[in-house]
Amino acid sequence: MKKILTTIILIIFLSACARPPITKPEDALAPVSWWNAATLNDDMAFKDIAAAARQSLEYYKKIPQETVFYFGQDKATALDMTVTLQNFLLIAENDTLTFEQKLDQIRKNFVLYRSVGSNGAGKVLFTGYYEPMLSCRLAADAAFRYPLYRRPSDIIEIDLTLFGTGFPKNKLIGRLDDKKVVPYYTREEINRKNALAGDNLEILWCSDLIDIYVLQVQGSGKVDLGNGNVVSVLYDGQNGWQYKSIGKYLIDTGAMTKENMSMQAIREYLRGHSDKLADVLDQNPSYVFFRLDSGPSLGNIGVPLTPGRSIATDSKLLPKGALGFMVSQKPVIENGAIKAWTPFTRFVMNQDTGGAIKGPGRADLFWGPGQEAELSAGNMQHEGELYFLMRKK
């Protein structure tokens, strides 16, 4: 009886201590002194951070200057964000300063905010994404038979904030069916039941269903058309269904272990179990649509992403385009394989978001194109800390 009572008390205690999910930007960041933060550093010695910062400046130019961004309980306007980045560039690009002097100037001229993370104490899980390369054609044939779809015209987006504040979400995505709004087609309905066939939505035909899935997870990529031409395929909307990880599904069903989980491992499993391919992919009902472009991959603020410098976070909680620095681990690659992981600290720009990036305890680092980028992004899954900087006023 005593054991049962102890168990009940423990359950009640744990329930009381469980943190409710962060849903407001005012609760996502907390001010912190430089003394209590991780040691400031930049493992890339400021390489490419100025180019990434200028992309965010382009974003701030395009929006009203009075637009408000939240740094926890503190607010900043788009003008404040612009001045912050301009002040940062004056330091980062000053060739008369040594590396250490630049860091010292940044500590003196900027205030710091730390993501509360998933535990309220700053724990952030960092993963990675990259720019994949697919092989596709403009017309279907026996080898290129999997369609890449543009955004359907019958998708309806409903802004629920127009109807009050008592909804768990701010937006619904669906379609009309006999004057009723119903959920849009799931991945299974699109892939297996050909829900979009005959609507002339195919922009390309690709050779590998797994490659298409990876492209949808990454959000954008490049396509080799086989005639010497390479084009970009960029994110152009989603079907409204919540993203669900097939990696988690494979772990939960015992098909793979958590220790061996990576994008490469998922690819190998699916290629070795082609009979289960459709069933596994269907576990994620979310489906992404694309558009053709000749430019680089863009983040959710509409600017090109910078490899190693751009990150994706929950755009509802953390300030878009903002300057930050991350503390995590990066791979040591030798002969095309990861030999070890080593700690690093790096300035980053918050320029993207993702379906799997929810809450202040998640962030995704953009690694760019190429095999090393794919290897690094596919295996990155390490905890760390995430900070944001704002100029002193």
What average pLDDT is seen over the chain? 92
State the pLDDT at residue 355. 80
Tens digits of per-residue pLDDT, 368-392? 999 999 999 999 999 999 999 999 9
Q: Which helix (H) or strand (E) holds 310?
A: strand 310-312
| The predicted structure's pLDDT at residue 295 | 82
Instruction: Work out whether strand 156-159 and strand 146-149 pair parallel, antiparallel, or are unpaired.
Output: unpaired
- Tell which residue, 201, 209, 236, 207, has the closest CA to residue 224: 207
pLDDT at 356: 82
Asked whether 52 and 309 are in contact (CB, 8 A), the reply is yes
Q: Give the residue extent of every domain in the chain.
A: 23-129+302-391
Residue 197 pLDDT > 70, yes or no? yes
Whole-angstrom Cα distance, residue 74 to residue 319?
11
Superfamily holding 23-129+302-391: RlpA-like domain (2.40.40.10)
**Per-residue pLDDT tens digits for 121-156:** 999 999 999 999 999 999 999 999 999 999 999 999
Residue 387's nearest CA partner among 52, 28, 59 is: 28
The tens digit of pLDDT for each residue in 50-94 reads 999 999 999 999 999 999 999 999 999 999 999 999 999 999 999
Specify the pLDDT at position 7: 39
The alpha carbon of 328 is separated from its chain's Cα centroid by a whole number of angstroms, namely 16
pLDDT of 160: 84
What is the per-residue pLDDT for 19? Answer: 66
Return the H-helix or E-strand segment holding 58.
Answer: helix 49-62
Q: What is the pLDDT of residues 20-36, one digit of tens each?
A: 888 899 999 999 999 99
Q: Is 100 helix (H, G, I), strand (E, B) or coil?
A: helix
| Phi, psi of 229, rounded to the nearest 5 degrees | -100, 140
Tell me what pLDDT residue 16 has: 42
HSE-CB at 306 with a 13 A cutoff on CA atoms is 20
pLDDT in tens, 237-251: 999 999 999 999 999
Output the pLDDT for position 258. 87
> What are the structure tokens assigned to 197, written together?
């066939």
Q: Identify the band that residue 18 occupies on the pLDDT scale cut at 50, 70 and 90.
A: low
- Please name the amino acid found at residue 232: S
Q: Which of 228, 218, 242, 265 minimizes the C-alpha distance to 369? A: 218
What 3-state class would DSSP assign to 230?
A: strand
pLDDT, tens digit (0-9, with 9 covering 90-100), for 305-318: 999 999 999 999 99
Task: State CA 258 to chain mean position distance.
Answer: 21
Separation CA 121–CA 38 (nearest Å)? 13
301: helix, coil or strand?
A: coil
Give the rounded distance of the alpha carbon of 289 from its chain centre.
16
**pLDDT digit string, tens, across residues 249-260:** 999 999 999 888
CA distance 92 to 69: 23
150 compared with 355, residue with greater pLDDT: 150
What is the reported pTM? 0.87
Mean pLDDT of 201-224: 94
Are the beta carbons of 385 and 113 closer than 8 angstroms?
A: no
Q: Which of 6-15, 93-102, 233-242 has the lowest mean pLDDT?
A: 6-15
Distance CA 277, CA 294 (A): 32
Q: What is the pLDDT of residue 103?
A: 98
| pLDDT at residue 296, as a whole number | 87
Which of 143-147, 226-230, 319-323 is predicted with the least confidence, judged by mean pLDDT?
Answer: 226-230
Mean pLDDT to the nearest integer, 166-189: 89
Contacts of 361 (CB under 8 A, 6+ apart): 115, 116, 117, 118, 119, 123, 124, 125
Query: Helix (H, G, I), strand (E, B), or coil: what is residue 323?
Result: strand
